Amino acid sequence: MLIAANFKTNKTRAQTREYYRAVSSYIAENNIASEAMIFPPATALDSFDGAISVGAQNAYAVENGAFTGEIGLEQLDEFGIKTILIGHSERRHILGESQELLVQKFDYFKEQGFTIVYCIGEPLEVREEGSEVLIGYLDDQLEGIDLDYKNLVIAYEPVWAIGTGLTPSADEVELIHTALRQKIECKILYGGSVKTANAEELLALENVDGALIGSGALKVDDYCTILSIADSLNK
């Protein structure tokens, strides 16, 4: 299983180093076999030497150039970063990234051989229209994405479940993951208010291959607890 922590706009460089160190020790001491991955803010990207993969929350589809406020491949290469999050709902809905831009990023980082965690998820008004409309909406977010890409991971994160403490029911999560599984072979993570209290129930579901976690993973202890829950499920 893959347990990914998305720090969003949290943690400094020093705090990220400390988190990495503490989680690495936990993994080594407890023989954790699940894959650990973290997405620190761009300012905390660095060279890390250990069992946890480190990815960028965002980058522009370019090696370098005149794109004020963005980072490109050159800045990721400096630290050997080969993992990126694309399509997170906060970038789609708050920062206004279009499907076209996301496909452009996807193609660029695919070309570079990156592991791409590609996020999809519906707003509440779409969910309220029923599963058929919901699945159609997710299909649109997969438009233009090479689902056969060997380093692809999909994260299904309902927008209304992100940072709200709300989650779909276990049956609802399973229904969507099973529908996605029909067209996607790669790992499918669930995201949206995953925390220590609900991790076991969500991770145990069929076709859930891990989690993408925001606030519930900010504390080292919580993240480590979820890693060991994933491990104990032995999927």
Could you list the residues that contact ligand PGA (CB under 6 A)? 6, 157, 162-163, 191-194, 212-216
Rounded Cα distance between 132 and 148, Å, is: 24
Active-site position among 88, 97, 122, 174: 88
Find the DSSP H helices in 129-206.
Answer: 131-141, 170-181, 196-203
Q: How far is CA 84 from CA 4, 154, 216, 224, in A?
A: 11, 12, 20, 22
Active-site position among 35, 157, 174, 177: 157
Whether 88 is catalytic is yes
Least distance (Å) between residue 174 CB and ligand PGA: 19
> Which of residues 59 and 194 has its CB atom nearest to ligand PGA in the complex?
194
> Which of residues 73 and 222 has its CB atom nearest to ligand PGA in the complex?
222
Least distance (Å) between residue 181 CB and ligand PGA: 20
Contact 38, 29 (CB under 8 A): no
Contact 223, 24 (CB under 8 A): no
Q: Point out the residue whose Cβ comes nearest to ligand PGA.
A: 214
> Which of residues 72 and 163 has its CB atom nearest to ligand PGA in the complex?
163
> Which of residues 35 and 157 has its CB atom nearest to ligand PGA in the complex?
157
Rounded Cα distance between 188 and 207, Å, is: 7
Whether 93 is catalytic is no
Least distance (Å) between residue 125 CB and ligand PGA: 19
Rounded Cα distance between 63 and 136, Å, is: 34
Catalytic residues, by residue number, are 88, 157
